[in-house]
């Protein structure tokens, strides 16, 4: 495994996921929520979060890819695969692992709002606000983190590290 240093422990993450779930249970009380999860990084967060929700939820997945080197967003995005049901008049929560430059979210928001949802909000596990290039804000944020490349809890480096139960900073030597 790559050299890394723990940033957020399993306990810290679980506590925060529960707080977000509590807020969603209140904010979407008496509604059905359609969660659109961005693959692959969002899956661990999604699976922990939905099991703490008491409201009815539907889940959808889409996959996006960017080209360029591996730790920076190149700014060119491709909607690889999408299996998103009709979102018209639905309350949609776009769920991502991490909001970095905001380019991915901006692109997804533009595509998904074409479907005319009743509402659309963003939920991310991690936010790197200093890296933002597009003015995007998430309504639900797990943690604000400094500008380091992180792995674990769904996030990968070269497809490895998603299964770590904690979040860790990748050692720069990697």
Q: Residues with catalytic annotation?
A: 100
Nearer to ligand 5GP, 28 or 96 (CB): 96
Task: Using the rule CB under 6 A, give the single segment among 46-54, 84-92, 102-110, 115-123 that binds ligand 5GP.
Answer: 102-110
Question: Among the candidate windows 3-11, 22-30, 33-41, 83-91, which touches Mg ion by CB under 5 A?
Answer: 33-41
> Which of 13, 41, 61, 105 lies at the binding interface for Mg ion (CB under 5 A)?
41
Tell whether residue 161 is a contact of Mg ion (CB under 5 A): no
Q: Which C-beta is closer to Mg ion: that of 41 or that of 161?
A: 41
Nearer to ligand 5GP among residue 28 and residue 153 (C-beta): 153
Say whether residue 154 binds Mg ion (CB under 5 A). no
The answer to whether 97 contacts ligand 5GP (rule: CB under 6 A) is yes
At 49 the three-state DSSP class reads helix
Contact 35, 58 (CB under 8 A): yes
Instruction: Count other Cβ atoms within 10 Å, centred on residue 28.
Output: 19
Would the CA dihedral through 52, 124, 71, 5 be positive or negative? negative
Instruction: List, in order, residues 6 or more apart from 104 with CB less than 8 Å away.
Output: 38, 64, 66, 73, 77, 96
CB of 11: closest distance to ligand 5GP in angstroms? 21
Q: Are residues 150 and 109 in contact, defined by beta-carbon separation less than 8 angstroms?
A: no
């Amino acid at each position: 495994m790559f050299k890394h240093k723990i940033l957020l422990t399993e306990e810290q993450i679980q506590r925060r996921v529960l707080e977000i779930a509590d807020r969603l249970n209140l904010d979407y009380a008496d509604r059905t929520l359609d969660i659109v999860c961005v693959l692959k990084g969002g899956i661990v967060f999604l699976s922990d979060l939905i099991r703490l929700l008491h409201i009815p939820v539907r889940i959808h997945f889409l996959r996006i890819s960017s080209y360029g080197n591996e730790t920076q967003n190149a700014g060119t995005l491709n909607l690889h695969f999408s299996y998103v049901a009709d979102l018209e008049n639905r309350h949609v929560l776009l769920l991502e692992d991490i909001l970095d430059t905001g380019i991915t979210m901006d692109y997804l928001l533009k595509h998904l709002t074409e479907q005319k949802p009743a509402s659309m909000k963003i939920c991310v596990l991690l936010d790197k606000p200093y890296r933002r290039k597009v003015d995007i804000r998430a309504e639900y944020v797990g943690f604000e983190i400094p500008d380091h490349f992180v792995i674990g809890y769904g996030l990968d480096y070269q497809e490895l590290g998603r299964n770590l139960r904690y979040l860790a900073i990748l050692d720069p030597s990697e």
